[in-house]
């Protein structure tokens, strides 16, 4: 649809500007807040930079264990979040690409049953089955461990389903050509299917990494030991000061730091995305 009227253009731009403001304003406030003394928040929310520069960040990182006098080391929490997100991402991708390979390229009894059972778990995200899952993890003695943090979140129907849809578009002749070229199932998977799935892997990596990074409810439930706190739940803990002043500038700085890894992943993978989209030919 091509509209050439200036009023319509104005309208489109207005909508876009509104969208940008609603998304960017909170981020802007968070960035601005890191440059103010904590006392500045008593009188309202500042909208322009204060005079502290990066000192809040440096203080936060050098004196890592002191936010609101709660002993939460930021670097430790970042590390926990990173390990959790990466384990979930890599685990998910590995398991789902292999199960999709089995479901699409092999004929075995119970193939469709297996597929539909995987598919049904789409309707049962962690939040729905949280009590039984917690019970299982407790019985397996996985509380306060990375196993408990990651394993229940690894099982995923979404990724399996997406890989299956992609594999179905791989031309059958390619499989046959590989068979004639003497490539067995594993060789075909490694030499041909994996390189072809590059784009999909990149896309799912971004999605699952952010999913893993943003986990809040499950880590909150499974960890009581401060050693295993993730950054997302850490931020919440910082707000829970019984008596004393909430250090908004430090909390905002922590939020900004917590935002960075997903942003980096998106930017890094975007290149692979675009390249994959341009290259995508089967």
CB count within 10 Å of CB 80 equals: 23
Nearest to 237 by CA among 67, 75, 78: 67
Question: Measured from the CB atom, is 80 or 199 closer to another protein?
Answer: 199
CB of 108 to another protein, least distance (A): 15
CB atoms within 10 A of CB 88: 23
For another protein, the closer of residues 4 and 107 by Cβ is 107
Closest approach, Cβ 184 to another protein, in A, equals 8
Which residue number, 203 or 231, has a Cβ lying nearer to another protein?
203
> Tokens 């104005």, residue?
10
The site for another protein (CB under 8 A) is made up of: 171, 173-174, 176-184, 187, 191-192, 195-196, 198, 279, 281-282
State how far the Cα of 250 lies from the Cα of 38, in Å rounded to an integer: 8
Is the CB of 135 or the CB of 181 nearer to another protein?
Answer: 181
Distance, in Å, from the CA atom of 161 to the CA atom of 70, rounded to the nearest integer, reads: 43
Instruction: In angstroms, give the least distance from the CB of 170 to another protein.
Output: 10
Q: What is the spatial distance between Cα 198 and Cα 141, in angstroms, rounded to a whole number?
A: 37
Determine contact, residues 209/270, Cβ cutoff 8 Å. Answer: no
Provide the minimum distance between the beta carbon of 124 and another protein in the complex, in angstroms, as a whole number.
Answer: 35
């Amino acid at each position: 649809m091509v509209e050439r009227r200036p009023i319509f253009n104005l309208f489109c731009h207005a909508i876009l500007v509104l969208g940008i403001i609603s998304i960017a304003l909170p981020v802007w406030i968070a960035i601005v807040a890191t440059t103010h003394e904590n006392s500045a928040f008593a009188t309202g929310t500042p909208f322009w930079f204060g005079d502290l520069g990066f000192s809040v960040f440096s203080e936060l990182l050098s004196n890592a264990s002191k936010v609101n006098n709660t002993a939460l080391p930021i670097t430790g929490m970042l590390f926990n979040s990173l390990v959790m997100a990466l384990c979930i991402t890599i685990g998910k991708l590995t398991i789902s690409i292999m199960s999709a390979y089995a479901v699409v390229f092999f004929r075995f009894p119970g193939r469709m049953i297996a597929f539909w059972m995987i598919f049904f778990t789409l309707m049962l995200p962690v939040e729905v089955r949280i009590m039984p899952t917690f019970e299982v993890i407790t019985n397996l003695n996985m509380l306060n461990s990375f196993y408990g943090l990651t394993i229940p979140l690894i099982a995923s129907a979404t990724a399996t389903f997406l890989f299956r849809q992609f594999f179905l578009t791989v031309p059958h002749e390619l499989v046959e050509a590989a068979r004639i070229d003497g490539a067995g199932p594993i060789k075909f998977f490694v030499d041909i299917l994996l390189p072809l799935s590059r784009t999909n892997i990149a896309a799912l990596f971004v999605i699952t990494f952010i999913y893993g990074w943003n986990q809040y409810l499950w880590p909150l439930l499974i960890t009581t030991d401060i050693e295993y706190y993730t950054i997302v739940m850490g931020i919440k803990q910082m707000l829970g000061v019984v008596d004393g002043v909430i250090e908004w500038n430090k909390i905002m700085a922590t939020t900004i730091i917590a935002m960075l890894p997903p942003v980096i992943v998106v930017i890094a993978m975007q290149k692979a995305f675009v390249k994959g989209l341009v290259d995508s030919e089967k």
